């Protein structure tokens, strides 16, 4: 094993601190990783007046990886555009670390087929990866509100599209499905043109098809196993990745990785802060554990340990342990104990 890795941990809001504590127990069991807590999101607004304090950002830039739980909650909800919002912390750290590629794997566990809202025969064999462009598009475009009219600009450059397209083609095993709205949006027409060009010039041996986003949303429910890599822009990817998450039976089961250039990656579960169950001991820590596995694999180069964690999670689920979101009654602590034992 290499020298001890240095990561920063961002517990955030709601159930975030609880599942981060679970992750720390797992990391401690694996060894070789030092962590340091920093504020982000709502708790950072309370403590620092901003969702992304400078101290958090500087610590992230010098770390080997960033592990984040969740941000947000009704306490900080506001329609006033001048009020700080927890999500600004997440968007800001992605932008500042140039984390332009978000990877969300979706692979239902056989033990949880019965938890999916889709029939078992429809989800069997599903093993897809949503690759979402993360630092461009409508979330980062110019925003205006005046005289009763609001607007958000969706803007993409050719360079932004080229680099995310390369990530998708390099990740593909069978094919890439690029999702856009090229029949309506000019930004989508550029997206389709650039993806097509990158494919022809650099990855012609990998099949490529294009789907309009509404059709893609339908096909994810109708035939999810037909997808390999889904490539799409920021807002479409935000929506489709959450839809794809439900194929597994619970959004509480899915990890994600946000990667960029040479700097640290950010790893987080897909689910939100679930303030309604915060402090109850009911939070499902498995998506956080699988995010730790992605951190080990993509951020710290510890493939064997990543596989150990994933196998331990599979083993616990195969043994029948279920949290409330999966139809069971196991609490956070019980799941943590079981996964660590399975290691």
What pLDDT digit, counting tens, does each position of 71-105 carry?
A: 999 999 988 878 999 999 998 999 899 999 999 99
Residue with tokens 């409508």: 138
Q: Is 242 a catalytic residue?
A: yes
Any domain includes 270: yes
Do 69 and 182 fall within a single domain?
Answer: no
Q: Number of C-alpha atoms within 13 angstroms, CB side, residue 224?
A: 29
Do 121 and 163 fall within a single domain?
Answer: yes
Mean pLDDT for the chain overall: 94
More confident residue, 252 or 243: 243
Query: How many residues appear in the chain?
Result: 343
Counting the structural domains of the chain, the total is 2
Q: Is 214 a catalytic residue?
A: yes
Q: Is 181 a catalytic residue?
A: yes
Nearest residue to 104 (alpha-carbon basis) of 213, 223, 241: 241
Domain end among 248, 267, 298? 248
The answer to whether residue 145 scores a pLDDT higher than 70 is: yes
Q: State residue 1's pLDDT score.
A: 46
Q: Is 46 a catalytic residue?
A: no
Catalytic residue among 98, 242, 314, 337: 242
Arithmetic mean of pLDDT, 184-204: 98
Q: State residue 158's pLDDT score.
A: 98
Any domain includes 108: no
Domain end among 248, 268, 290? 248
Arithmetic mean of pLDDT, 143-162: 96
Tell me the CATH number at 211.
3.40.718.10
Binned at pLDDT 50, 70 and 90, residue 150 comes out as: very high
**How far apart (Å, rounded) are the C-alpha atoms in residues 178 and 224?**
15
Catalytic residue among 139, 228, 305, 325: 139
Q: Is 144 a catalytic residue?
A: no
Arithmetic mean of pLDDT, 250-274: 90
Do 215 and 160 fall within a single domain?
Answer: yes
Catalytic residue among 181, 282, 305, 325: 181
Do 66 and 130 fall within a single domain?
Answer: no
Catalytic residue among 34, 46, 83, 214: 214
- Domain interval for residue 96: 1-101+255-343
Helix (H, G, I), strand (E, B) or coil at 231: strand
**How far apart (Å, rounded) are the C-alpha atoms in residues 85 and 59?**
21
Q: State residue 2's pLDDT score.
A: 54
Domain end among 203, 218, 248? 248
Do 75 and 153 fall within a single domain?
Answer: no
Distances in whole angstroms, Cα of residue 159 to Cα of each of 50, 178, 195, 279: 31, 16, 11, 44
Do 133 and 244 fall within a single domain?
Answer: yes
**How far apart (Å, rounded) are the C-alpha atoms in residues 67 and 267?**
5
**How far apart (Å, rounded) are the C-alpha atoms in residues 246 and 269?**
14
The model's pLDDT over 16-56, given as tens digits with 9 standing for 90+, comes to 999 999 999 999 999 999 999 999 999 999 999 999 999 99
Catalytic residue among 98, 238, 314, 337: 238
The model's pLDDT over 117-144, given as tens digits with 9 standing for 90+, comes to 888 889 999 999 999 999 999 999 999 9
């Amino acid at each position: 094993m290499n020298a001890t890795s240095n990561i920063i941990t961002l517990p955030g809001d709601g159930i975030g601190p609880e599942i981060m504590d679970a992750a720390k127990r797992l990391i401690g069991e694996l060894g070789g990783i030092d962590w340091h807590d920093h504020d982000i999101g709502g708790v950072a607004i309370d403590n620092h007046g901003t969702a992304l304090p400078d101290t958090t950002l500087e610590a992230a830039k010098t770390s080997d990886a960033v592990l984040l739980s969740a941000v947000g909650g009704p306490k900080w909800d506001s329609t006033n555009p001048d009020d700080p919002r927890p999500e600004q912390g997440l968007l800001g750290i992605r932008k500042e670390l140039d984390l332009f590629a978000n990877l969300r794997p979706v692979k239902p566990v056989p033990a949880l087929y019965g938890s999916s809202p889709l029939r078992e025969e429809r989800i069997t064999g599903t093993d897809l990866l949503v690759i979402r462009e993360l630092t461009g598009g409508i979330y980062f475009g110019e925003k205006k509100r005046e005289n009763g009219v609001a607007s958000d600009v969706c803007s993409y450059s050719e360079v932004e599209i080229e680099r995310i397209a390369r990530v998708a083609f390099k990740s593909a095993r069978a094919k890439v499905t690029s999702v856009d709205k090229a029949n309506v949006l000019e930004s989508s027409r550029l997206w389709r043109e650039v993806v097509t060009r990158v494919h022809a010039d650099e990855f012609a041996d990998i099949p490529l098809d294009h789907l309009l986003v509404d059709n893609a949303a339908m096909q994810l429910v109708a035939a999810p196993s037909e997808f390999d890599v889904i490539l799409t822009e920021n807002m479409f990817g935000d929506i489709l990745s959450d839809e794809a998450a439900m194929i597994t039976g619970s959004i509480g089961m899915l990890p994600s990785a946000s990667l960029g250039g040479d700097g640290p990656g950010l790893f987080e579960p897909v689910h939100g802060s679930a303030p309604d169950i915060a402090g109850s001991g009911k939070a499902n820590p498995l998506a956080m554990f699988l995010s730790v596995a992605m951190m080990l694999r993509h951020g710290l180069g510890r493939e064997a340990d990543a596989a150990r964690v994933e196998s331990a999670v599979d083993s616990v689920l195969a043994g029948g342990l279920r949290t409330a979101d999966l139809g069971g009654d196991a609490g956070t602590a019980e799941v943590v104990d079981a996964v660590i034992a399975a290691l």
